[in-house]
Amino acid sequence: MSKAERTKAYIIERAAPVFNTKGYSGTSMSDIVQATQLTKGAIYGNFTGKDEVAIEVYKYNFGALRKRIANAMLAETTAQARLKAYTNYYRTNWQQVQERGGCPLLNAAVEADDNVAFMRKNVQASARQWIKDIRTVIQAGIDSGEFRADLDAQQMATSVCMMLEGGMMFFKIMDDRTLLFHALDRIDRMVTQEMMR
C-alpha cells in the first residue's frame, strides 16, 4: 500500500464514526480535520471534497458491519443456525452498534432519501447486497431441504432485513433496546417456525 493509499485509508477510518454519529450532512470538514488531526489541504489532497469522503466512509462503515455479521454467520453450518447467528449478532452487540452511531445502512438511507441524494446509489447497492446475503442463506436452506420448498427466498430475505432495520430505527429513536429485541424475536420465529419444513 502506497503512502497516499495509507493516508486515504487513515482518513476514512478516523472519519467513519464521526459521519455515522453526526450524520452525513451534519459532519463538517472541520469535524473531519479534528477526527484525523490533518489539515484541510491534506484531506483535499486525497479526496475531491466532503461528498467523496462521505461516500468512502459509508462504504467503509457498511462493509465493516457486513463483514462482522458474515463472519458470525459463516461460523455456523446450517441455514437456520446462520440466520440465528445474524440475529444473535445484534443481541450481543447492540451496545457496540449504538456506540458506533447505529446501523450505517439505516443512517445513510434516511439522509440519502432527502438530504444527501449523491449517496443514494451506494445506499441502494448496500440494501440490495444485504438482502442478497440473507437470500443466499435462505435459498441454501431450501436447496438442502432444511427449509420449506415453497418459500420465496427473496421475499423472506427482504422481510428479515426490513424487520431488522425497523427494529434498529425504533431502538435508536426511543432509546429502548427491547424494541430491537422484539424485531429479532420475530425474525427468529420466522426462521424456527415459518421457514422450517
Percent of the chain with pLDDT over 70: 100
Those residues with Cβ within 8 angstroms of residue 4's Cβ, 6 or more apart along the chain or in another chain:
46
| pLDDT value of residue 122 | 95
- The Cα 156–Cα 161 span in angstroms is 9
Percent of the chain with pLDDT over 90: 86
pLDDT band at 114; cut points 50, 70, 90: confident
Q: Which domains does the chain have, with CATH numbers?
A: 59-194 (1.10.357.10)
pTM (predicted TM-score): 0.91
- pLDDT tens per residue across span 149-162: 999 999 999 999 99
| pLDDT value of residue 97 | 82
Average pLDDT over residues 101-127: 90
Whether residue 193 is predicted with pLDDT greater than 90 in this model: the reply is: yes
- The Cα 140–Cα 131 span in angstroms is 14
**Residues 184 and 91 sit within 8 Å (Cβ to Cβ):** yes
Whether residue 95 is predicted with pLDDT greater than 90 in this model: the reply is: no
Whether residue 197 is predicted with pLDDT greater than 90 in this model: the reply is: no
